[in-house]
Structure 1
Amino acid sequence: MQDQELIDEYRRVLGLFPTGVVVVSGLSDGTPVGLTVQSFMALSLRPPMILLSVDRKSTSWPLIAATGKLAVNVMAADQGDVALTFAKSGTDKFAGIPWTPAPHTGVPLIEGCQAWIEGEVACTYDGGDHVIITVDVLTLHAGPDAQPLVFFRSAFRQLDQPSLVAG
């Protein structure tokens, strides 16, 4: 396979794996900053840790990394517009976005999210064109029961089927 063919097939195949959508937020000299991420997962229960993967081209990530303090805001199904806002570069992403300060670090917790996790960067690793970040969880909270925002086949989706319980 040629390089571009491999990249195209990679995107198509991995696009078949649905993921949740989160906005990673932090503060830079007291100003709220953030970016949309779909590479997010649980890493460890003891100690509680999560893992993120962020594109090296991100202009927001270095601002958050400089403090090492962040929040992961899990987007609810009705927050596609919020996720799109934070996916853009060069704008005031928090303009018109209500938020409250996290209990330990003061980083922005976006209102209306399905859940949030407050943490501190533990380690970063090379991940090709991305940076892999492990995060120590300080505190977390689930908001009102809501459907998640899901990324599937390069688009935001919503779950609309009753859940199945694994045996």
Structure 2
Amino acid sequence: MGTEIDIDDTRQLRDAFGRFTTGIVIVTTDVGGERIGATVSSFNSVSLAPPLVSFCIARNARAMAAWETAPGFAVSVLSRTQSHLSTQFARSLGDKWSGVGTRPASCVDAPLIEGALMWFECETYARYDGGDHLIILGRVVAAEAGRSVEPLLFFGGAYRHLAPRMEHEHVSRDDMWLHAW
């Protein structure tokens, strides 16, 4: 038997959600010549045909107006060595871009974070109400794999890394489809 969570207690609920391990991305866009970026752990693949991804932005985010109108965005999937960037882009004040290596996306108006594990360039496909968050769907128009192969993970309020894979833990490509991958 587990411990019951009081879902009306936002701290308990947040901690409960934090028991699901996530990768970390920085979503970026450029609106009116202003670069916008935010750390996000709510990034997900949605569909293969058409190729769709989603992420959520808190409605109280300082750049909410930009996210409500941005025609496109980029997603930089952070690698194991980029926890400092996750922290830097999670802050609402200060210069998020200070000391950050970027390059322009090829298909959308957004900067890509150098050294990332993976990059996705997306045209905004739809926006949905998500309570205290805005859910943004993007249609992937370009993707590129970085050199790193180790993701930055978040679990229980802390950054984590993958342990080396054990031989018996391999999932075959055919079995991946059984798990909706």
Could you state the TM-score of these two structures normalised by the residue count of structure 2? Answer: 0.85
5+ residue gaps, structure 1: none
Other-structure match for 1:56: 59
- After TM superposition, the structure 1 stretch with the greater mean CA deviation from structure 2, 153-162 or 78-87, is 153-162
1:93 matched to 2:91? The reply is no
Distance 1:18 1:146 in 2: 17
Distance 1:117 1:62 in 2: 22
Other-structure match for 1:3: 8
Other-structure match for 1:117: 120
Q: CA deviation at 1:58?
A: 1.0
Other-structure match for 2:40: 37
The 8 Å contact of residues 115 and 148 in structure 2, kept in 1 or not, is answered as no
Other-structure match for 1:23: 26
Letter in 2 for 1:70: F
Q: Secondary structure at the match of 1:104?
A: coil
Q: Secondary structure at the match of 1:33?
A: strand
- After TM superposition, the structure 1 stretch with the greater mean CA deviation from structure 2, 67-76 or 56-65, is 56-65
Q: CA deviation at 1:12?
A: 2.4
Q: CA deviation at 1:128?
A: 0.8
Q: Deviations over 1:97-124 (max 9, x none)?
A: 0100000123100100000100111111
Q: CA deviation at 1:44?
A: 0.5
Q: CA deviation at 1:26?
A: 0.8
4+ residue segments displaced more than 6 Å? none
Letter in 1 for 2:87: L
Q: CA deviation at 1:62?
A: 2.5
Aligned length: 165
Distance 1:114 1:51 in 2: 18
Equivalence map 1:101-140=2 (5 Å): 101-140=104-143
Q: Which structure: larger Rg?
A: 2
Could you state the TM-score of these two structures normalised by the residue count of structure 1? Answer: 0.91
